[in-house]
Amino acid sequence: MEHVILVIEDDAATREAVKALLEMRGYKVVLTANGNDGLTKLRAGLRPCVILLDLTMPEKSGFEFRLEQVVDPELAQIPVIIYSGDAEAYARAADYGAAALLQKPVGIDVLVETIEAHC
């Protein structure tokens, strides 16, 4: 079975770097630049084994994404790994029920181990 990871990240360089890293590890990666796009893909039927979610993004933040995800019975059970370089946002992240919290910059081994725990 192919493991799919949805990466919701507004920084293009970070998105591409995470995609390249995870694809080298055998994962299929779907990229979106904000929470709106992520929700659109999920509502269209995408079912990743885990969502890697940045918090501070335009259009729909990671916080806003989580508020919509957890109330949707089709999407609520998909585990979310929140990762953020924004210290203030990271401090609030624990209140959003993520499967894991990682602070950027995230070491490659830590990121992969955290993903593997859910995929």
Number of domains in the chain: 1
Average pLDDT over the chain, rounded to an integer: 91
Domain extent, residue 30, equals 4-116
Alpha-carbon distance values, 105 to 27, 67, 69, 108 (Å): 21, 25, 25, 9
Angstrom distance (rounded) from CA 64 to CA 69: 9
CB 51 within 8 A of CB 6: yes
Q: What's the mean pLDDT in 67-87?
A: 92
Residue 107 makes CB contacts below 8 A (sequence gap 6+) with none
Task: Give percent of the chain with pLDDT exceeding 70.
Answer: 98
CATH number at residue 37: 3.40.50.2300
The model's pLDDT over 9-50, given as tens digits with 9 standing for 90+, comes to: 999 999 999 999 999 999 999 999 999 999 999 999 999 999
Residue 72, amino acid: D
β-strand partners of 104: none
